[in-house]
Structure 1
Amino acid sequence: MNASQPIIRLLEAYWRQPDQAPAHPQEPKVKVQMTISRLAFVYEKIRNVIDYKDEHLIRKNAIERMLKRRLYTEDKKRHFGLLLVEELIRAGYLPNNMLPERVIGELDIIIEKYLRTLLAVAPNRLTKQRRAAVNWILSICATEIEHKLVPQTKQDALVEGMYAVLRKDVDLANDISDPTERDVQVYIAIHRALIKSDWPIIRYHLLNFYLPGWLESDPRAIEYFTQNFNVLKDVIERQVNHPLGDRLFRFVKRFSVLFVILGDLLEKHGQNFQFLIHDQEEFEREIRIACAVRYKKANIRLRRS
């Protein structure tokens, strides 16, 4: 891949607005009655104050909690996607009367493939192995659902851009002889350092890397996963628990601030960024402003922790 291609995609990701195409004005949208939502909203806000994380992680973790609760308390085949979206709206994680109803069907397809895998690899037995499989599968399912509801186009493009720049220049990665494994470890380190991806998000991306067609719900990929679950899980966990992982993360983290600020400037200036970089004085001033804003946010987060 040409190293400039991820950079071009990065610029395009920030120039396109918005991240998710808006629903057509005449298109049916998911609307819920909000009179009973206040308690759910307050409950989730309290959880989020106690457990401060970035917005996408908070929403993903909420989805995972809801999936687990509904998995054990309701008919898994009935309106799972709709009930999940309604609960997310009531809890304030999604806007009301904005999400097109067609997304519900897409969520049902996503949930169905994970439930199929779950039933195949972890039948209804209350064992330690089943609980571990449930947690592993549903955490990845929650990540895919969150990406479907709120696409991470800009964040993913930022990761790809940093990966394209650093891929060949991470000396620590040279200690890994296999080139694919080396690239995967650099990619994981960038995800963790740049956009604070947690392990379920990392596993989600690794699953899509090792199993082409899974994201598209290809029946062949689903069948392969159900039949080779333990093999794929072991491959992914070897990457997650790689002995050089933490060292690479600490190394990459030193450079991540540069791309964080780049993302902030792209977000602020959009297509005008291409003109900004040609005015060195103004460009440096905007960098200082972006750094000050980030510093202020970090102080607020520190006081809240």
Structure 2
Amino acid sequence: MEGKPLSELANSLISVFDEEVPETRDRKISVNPVVSKVASIYEKVRNAMDYRDQEVILRAAIERILKRRTLFGGVAKTIAEPLVRELVWARYFPDESVSESMTARVEERIDLYIKLRHEILAKHSIISEKSLNEWIYHLMSSDVEHTLCPRKKKEYMSNFMFRVMRDNITIIDEGEQQKDIQVFIAVHKSYAKDDLAMLRFHLFNQFLGKLTAENLPKVIENFPEGYREINNQLNYPRKDKIFNYIKDKTVIFFVLEDFLNIGKGGIKQLINDDGEFRRIIYSICEARYAGIASKVRTAIFRSIIFLLLTKALFALSIEGTFESIFYGRVLWTAILINIVVPPLLMAALGFSIKTPDRENSKKIFNYIRAILLSGDPKLANQLSIKTKPDKMKPLLNTIFSFLWIITFFLVFGIIFYVLNRFSFNPLSMFVFVFFLAIVSFLAYRINQVAKIYSIEPRKNVMTSVTDFLFIPFVTVGRKLTDGISQINVFLFLLDFVIEAPFKGLFSFFEQWFLFLQNKREELE
């Protein structure tokens, strides 16, 4: 590979990673270390109760703070500085890493979205107030995160991945613009790990432009059209097919990002040294594989906390009450099985996950070399789809649907039979199956965490059998998990009853410690 020129696209990407980021000399926000320690512990407990991907926790925390402070009558001027300070307390940002001047920018962004909400409610009826509030909090929290944490390299890598992937996908009966939007969404979901809020924010900027004081009237006027288009794109019928194809290739760009960060200042020389280039890519892959174990452990821990808290609430408040009324006593054996078994099953499924092999690293290296050297890199298996997929023959469709239903009822029937042998009452059976579905979904999510570093994972007979048996559980579990997250009583109590006075105490003690420090300095 000695002397081979890099593609123009690769050169542009490398220049971004080689760029030195100037450090600002503004005064930084500093918080008391004792307050920060307590706040960070609280935040870890709070996040464990709300099952989210690690990459969206910061944005979710910002949204939570915005909701709490606006609920109690806050405006941009009174929200911005405490919001930033809370984030530093909770160690989302290291102490003295955020400039004090940043609060003015955050205040400006919050104020714009509050004005946007007010004007849309006054001028448009396309969206209910409840839905608009959700949209505004999504847009505002995403914008505040981007303001505090720009992630320029992540954005450039996302754009690079988009440019590579778009040429490997064809939607036969759609135009290029439709394909580009769907590839854009899939890249941001798979590589940047954007949630619905962040996707709405990016699409809002694409369709309506970045919100500023100058274009606010135009955004207000065009909001109904943008709102409809964004919803249509997020519900595109073939979005999952495109996303899954891109997700299987995402590891290439994770490893490439690591390589560009490691080789900063001498990236081109490393690429031209084939042996050293290969060694570094392989070592990055091994480090990523080793990191899977840590990610899986974290995911399992958070899942178990989520299960124990929601399961204990169900078991003690509903199951226990039911048994006391209809049986005259609490059947502790069934309740304990219901509380203990799902977390144990969760741990067993999680720790059975395997890491990729060296052949996987070889594929990643070959792909990275191809996309850096070729101006128009073509991947091994390109995707070609139609908006409306070819319909299955009616007879086969009927047979498969019938088999699916039979299997579904057979599996559930066996479970209910076994539980009945253990003297479970009807409600206990329902609760057990309810959480078994949730465990299936959470285990599936953890399995996806491990598979993210496997490029083009192979399918086999066992995979097909497992899919056939467990996808119904996973589907039901996903809906139940989302529902529980929406009505989780613990989260409501924490966010609106406990957190507000708790954070008030943090602020009081921080000022008290500052007062004591000043008094100490007067004595010296």
**Shorter-chain TM-score tier:** 0.7 to 0.9
Q: Which residue in the other structure is 1:15 paired with?
A: 18
The reply to whether residue 203 of structure 1 matches residue 200 of structure 2 is yes
Measured in 2, the distance between the counterparts of 1:75 and 1:285 equals 54
1:4 Cα offset (Å): 5.4
Other-structure match for 1:158: 157
Where do 1:1-305 residues align within 5 Å? 6-18=9-21, 21-24=22-25, 27-50=26-49, 51=51, 53-55=53-55, 57-122=56-121, 129-171=128-170, 174-212=171-209, 214-215=210-211, 217-219=212-214, 221-305=215-299
| Aligned mates of 1:41, 1:276 — CA distance in 2 | 40
Q: Secondary structure at the match of 1:271?
A: coil
Q: For each residue in 1:39-95, what CA deviation from the matched residue of structure 2 results, as whole angstroms up to 9, or x when unmatched? A: 32111122344535234x111111111111111113314332111111111111122
Instruction: Output the CA distance in 2 between the equivalents of 1:157 and 1:37.
Output: 33
Kept in 2, the 8 Å contact 1:9–1:157? The answer is: no
After TM superposition, give the deviation of residue 179 of structure 1 in Å.
2.1
2:440 alignment counterpart: none
Deviates more, 1:41-50 or 1:266-275: 41-50
Conserved? CA contact 2:76–2:108, under 8 Å: no
Partner of 2:344: none
Root-mean-square deviation (CA, aligned residues, Å) is 2.2
Q: Which amino acid aligns with 1:61?
A: A
Structure 1 residue runs without a partner (length 5+): none
Cα distance change of structure 1 residues 237 and 176 upon mapping to structure 2, 3 Å threshold: farther
Q: Quick check: 1:23–1:98 contact (8 Å CA) kept in 2?
A: no
Distance 1:39 1:131 in 2: 34
Check whether the contact 1:23–1:99 (CA below 8 A) recurs between aligned residues: no
2:208·2:222 contact (CA, 8 Å) conserved in 1?
Answer: no
**Conserved in 1, the CA contact under 8 Å of 2:271 and 2:277?**
yes
Question: Any idea what SS the aligned residue of 2:272 has?
Answer: coil
Shift of 1:187: 1.1
Determine which structure has more spread, i.e. the larger CA radius of gyration.
Answer: 2
Quick one: distance in 2 between partners of 1:137 and 1:176?
A: 34
2:492 corresponding residue in structure 1? none
Match of 2:174, SS? coil
One-letter code of the match for 1:10?
Answer: L
Structure 2 CA distance for partners of 1:130 and 1:52, relative to 1, 3 Å: closer
Q: Is the 8 A contact 1:6 1:160 kept in 2?
A: no
What's the CA shift string for 1:246-288, capped at 9, x where partnerless?
A: 1100111222111111001111121222111111122111111
Percentage identity across paired residues of the two chains: 28
Deviation at 1:159, TM superposition (A): 0.9
State the one-letter code of the partner of 1:280. Answer: D
C-alpha separation in 2, matches of 1:152 and 1:176 = 36
- Partners of 2:263 and 2:71 in 1: how far apart? 47
Alignment partners' CA distance in 1, 2:98 and 2:145: 13
How far apart are residue 146 of structure 1 and its match? 0.7
Which is worse superposed, 106-115 or 95-104?
95-104
Partner of 2:264: helix, strand, or coil?
helix
Inter-CA distance 175–44: structure 2 relative to 1 (3 Å threshold): farther
The answer to whether the 8 Å contact 1:176/1:182 transfers is no
Please list the CA deviations of residues 20-39 of structure 1 after superposition, one character each: whole Å capped at 9, or x if unmatched: x4221xx3222334443433
Cα gap change, 1:28 to 1:300, in 2 (>3 Å): closer
Name the SS for the 1:36 alignment partner. Answer: helix
Normalised by the length of structure 2, the TM-score is 0.52
Report if aligned partners of 2:77, 2:107 keep a CA contact under 8 Å in 1. Answer: no
CA separation of 1:204/1:8 partners in 2, compared to 1, >3 Å: closer, same or farther? farther
**1:189–1:252 contact (8 Å) kept in structure 2:** yes
* 1:168-217: CA deviation from partner (whole Å, max 9, x where unpaired): 2213xx235232121111111111122222121111111111123x24x1
So what's the TM-score if we normalise by structure 1? 0.87
Distance 2:99 2:67 in 1: 25
Q: Structure 2 vs 1, CA of residues 278 and 77 (structure 1 numbering), >3 Å: closer, same or farther?
A: closer
Size of the aligned set, in residue pairs, is 289
**CA distance in 2: counterparts of 1:155 and 1:9, whole angstroms:** 14
- Counterpart code for 1:251: Y
